[in-house]
Amino acid sequence: MATTISAAPALDVGAVRAQFPILRTRVNGKPLVYLDSAASAQKPEPVIEAEARFYRESYANVHRGVHTLSQRATGAYEAARERVARFLGAPDSSEVIFTRSATEGLNLVAWCFARPRLQPGDEVLLTEMEHHSNIVPWQMVCEATGAKLVVAPVDERGELRMDELARLLSPKTRVVALVHVSNALGTINPVAEVSRLAHAAGAAVVVDGAQAAPHLPIDVQALGCDFYTFSGHKVYGPTGIGALWGRKELLAAMPPWQGGGDMILHVSFAKTDYAPPPARFEAGTPHIVGAVGLAAALDWLESLPREAVAAHEHDLLAYATESLGAIPGVRLIGTARHKASVLSFLVEGVHAHDVGTILDSEGVAVRAGHHCAQPLMERFGIAATARASFAVYNTREEVEVLAAAVRKAQRLFA
């Protein structure tokens, strides 16, 4: 079942859709039904225009220029950092580091926070539902340090086994890294409770928020985590930009991620003194326009009535769950009680890739494969699923097109 949302005013979905030019596209002669927002969300006009306007009117490199355009660009870039801090409920914008993506944020924490602290015999605790980007970096630092990777299981519904997670925590646990919302299941994890348990065991908590950021209000202080990262392209912003939040005292104690310009105080051939965070972790020319676009995306997202958006997305997920669940031969993967707008499914006798191809012939865009969550697929004894993911711009009518296309796939392979 999906998360229950309290009554909220209706969302004007038509007005929202009108802001997305790509939704007027036709695919294979059919109106586009874009149900792949968990992979990457489409972009509204305010984001497209913010980036274009910055290129037209304000573009220059940031921070060290004394001329007007450089100062204007620097102001926009740092204002974007402050915007991200507000979005995350961060107490200080200096705790926000711009990255290329949530993936880069997770790698930064693994290599700059965890690796210097891990020793042979230490443990890093993950969950069975992690994306590869929250598995592979930890494997790499464990291999480099002699630490051990420990995995908390999920149950048949795709819910985290909190009893097992609590049992696996020990004085050896140095880091607990988990996804806020599963990209393959839609499961919403109880991050605040995990943080409480992990901190009681002396471990730091790292959260992959890529899938949560578009759907849930984020407050890193209430969540109690130590690091939180997300990607811009999933919150209706540009690709190639993301953000990592970390507690100030932890960031200040971490070595740099990369070397280069803007992350230094002084350089000589004998010694380099590093700048304090966030500059310490932003070597080289950053994705300036991406940061501006990300700020515009967050402004746009939070200009919507968030309760109405949550109710709308909940309704879409519930309607799709009912519609696909009623089709004989369709198996839903991930039925957690608390879910975001992701619906993974199998069609009996039809490979997930074939499902995706047939749906595309009907104009329906879904993701098909292991969703960069191969260990989770193995846990359910499957190789791949088809995944429909819903965003603020989707409609019930599109859910009906999805269900009809799934039935067509069944007929073609009958």
Supply the DSSP symbol for 349: T
Would you say the C-alpha torsion 337, 338, 343, 344 has a positive or negative sign? negative
CA–CA separation, 90 and 314 (whole Å): 27
Strand 204-208 relative to strand 227-231, pairing? parallel
User: Quick check: is 225 catalytic?
Assistant: no
Amino acid at residue number 279: A
Cα 52–Cα 56–Cα 57 angle in degrees, nearest 5:
120
Helix axes 306-325, 396-412, angle to 10 degrees: 20
Q: For residue 295, what are its two tokens?
A: 């700020």
Indicate the DSSP class of residue 268.
-
Sign of CA dihedral 258, 261, 266, 268: positive
How far apart CA 59 and CA 123 sit, in angstroms, is: 46
Using CA atoms, how far apart are residues 336 and 81, in angstroms rounded to an integer? 34
CA distance 271 to 382: 53
Please identify which of the residues 112, 142, 225, 372 carries the catalytic annotation: 372
Distance, in Å, from the CA atom of 163 to the CA atom of 153, rounded to the nearest integer, reads 10
For the annotated catalytic residues, the residue numbers are 372
